[in-house]
Amino acid sequence: MPPSVPTLAPPDPDRLGRPLADLRISVTDRCNFRCTYCMPREVYGPDHPFLPRSEILDFEEIARVAAVFVGLGVRKLRLTGGEPLLRRDLPRLIRALAGLGVDLALTTNGSLLAAHAAELRAAGLGRLTVSLDALDAEIFGRMNDTGVPVGAVLAGLEAARAAGFPPPKINTVVRRGVNESEILPLVRRFVPAGHEVRFIEFMDVGTTNGWRLDEVVPAREVLARIAAETPLESVEPAYRGEVARRYRAPELGGAIGLVASVSQPFCGDCTRARLSADGRLFTCLFAAAGTDLRGPLRRGATDRGLADLIGGVWRERADRYSEERTAQTAPGPRVEMSYIGG
């Protein structure tokens, strides 16, 4: 049974006037890939200390926190990781969250999707986003660094279609010198089939991925490559906080998106909060620290108490890291992407 949504008022907008509208929920900090821009193998090796089970929110705790966020006005929930399909019995959580009556999506690397797509759909999951950085086998292997073949992801996409999902969005992180050559093959394969392909600039999330500004392929360059092959038409944002700039490709029958966090920051319209697997609330992908919700939750906090805590954090939010980024990013710790999702 899903938890009941408490009757609450949306919190005041943050210090930059941004409302709270979206929640991304990390269900695990573990992943079966070692993508170089997220969990490089030299850092996340066999002895890496992942979160112990006792520190991870259980499904009832996640669902309750999500219900409070929905009571505060959130209308979109997205499950992330790590790789969320590594979390055992995930459809049980999806059934609870689907009962909250809001848009429910999941982001996955797709390698396990073939085995789970049907049960995810049956549980009430509405949409999928699949991360796929290359179709070329050698490039794909170099980016995920695990030996998982690209065919496993393609099989997952086929399973999603068979299960009745709308065509998943395809997320592609573009890193100069690694996979720029894959931009057009991905467009040619997936846009005519109804998928929206989203190209994401290589970002300096965390401190372990070796980010360098000269390895960023700016969104304008990606756009120029695609526009040289097929006409594109700009699409107005569907809502405030939409992170991708979208373009229709009428001759291909679909669309592309560009996520330009580095070259064209969109901090001013960011409406996202993030919940880590161990119950910390983050208000920016590039944050150094979060606010503990697990402690109050396990000490018996009421829905109102949790809502007051969340609302207080949101009202004081002033994050705008991407607008302040420089080629030599200020030193200091930042939370890793695998901990709070992308």
Domain ranges of the chain: 22-340
Separation between Cα atoms, residue 179 and residue 296, nearest integer Å? 44
pLDDT of 181 > 90? The answer is yes
> CB within 8 A of 217, min separation 6: which ones?
174, 175, 176, 180, 201, 202
3-state helix, strand, coil in the chain (%, to 5): 35, 15, 50
Q: Is the peptide bond before 241 cis (omega within 30 degrees of 0)?
A: no
Lowest-confidence range among 270-274, 313-317, 323-327?
323-327
Task: Supply the angle between the helices 90-98 and 59-71 in degrees, to the nearest 10.
Answer: 20
303 near 8, Cβ under 8 Å?
Answer: yes
Better-predicted residue by pLDDT, 298 or 288:
298
Q: Where are the alpha helices (DSSP H) in the chain?
A: 59-71, 90-98, 113-123, 137-144, 150-163, 183-190, 219-227, 294-298, 303-315, 321-324, 337-340
What are the pLDDT digits (tens) for 7-52?
Answer: 899 999 999 999 999 999 999 999 998 888 878 888 888 888 889 9
* CA pair distance 116, 119, nearest whole angstrom: 6
DSSP string over 216-264:
B--HHHHHHHHHTTS--EEE--SSTT--SEEEEETTTTEEEEEE-TTTS
The domain made up of 22-340 has a fold known as TIM Barrel (3.20.20)
The predicted pLDDT at position 66 comes to: 98
d(CA 304, CA 80): 26
Q: Over the stretch 218-228, which tens digit does the pLDDT of each residue have?
A: 999 999 999 99
Quick one: which of 163, 167, 59 has its CA closest to 121? 163
Q: What is the pairing mode between strands 280-282 and 291-292? A: antiparallel
Candidates 127, 58, 55; CA nearest to 96 is 58
Q: What are phi and psi of 300, to 5 degrees?
A: 95, 20
Alpha carbons 313 and 129: distance in angstroms, whole number: 29
Instruction: Find tokens 């002895």 and name the residue.
Output: 47
Q: Of 212 and 155, which is predicted with more confidence?
A: 155
Where do runs of H (alpha helix) occur along 269-302? 294-298
Q: For the whole model, what pTM was predicted? A: 0.92
Distance, in Å, from the CA atom of 290 to the CA atom of 64, rounded to the nearest integer, reads: 19
pLDDT-derived band of residue 235, with 50, 70 and 90 as boundaries? very high
Bridge-based pairing state of the strands 245-249 and 233-235:
antiparallel
Rounded mean pLDDT, 252-274: 87
Question: 10 Å Cβ neighbour count for 321?
Answer: 21
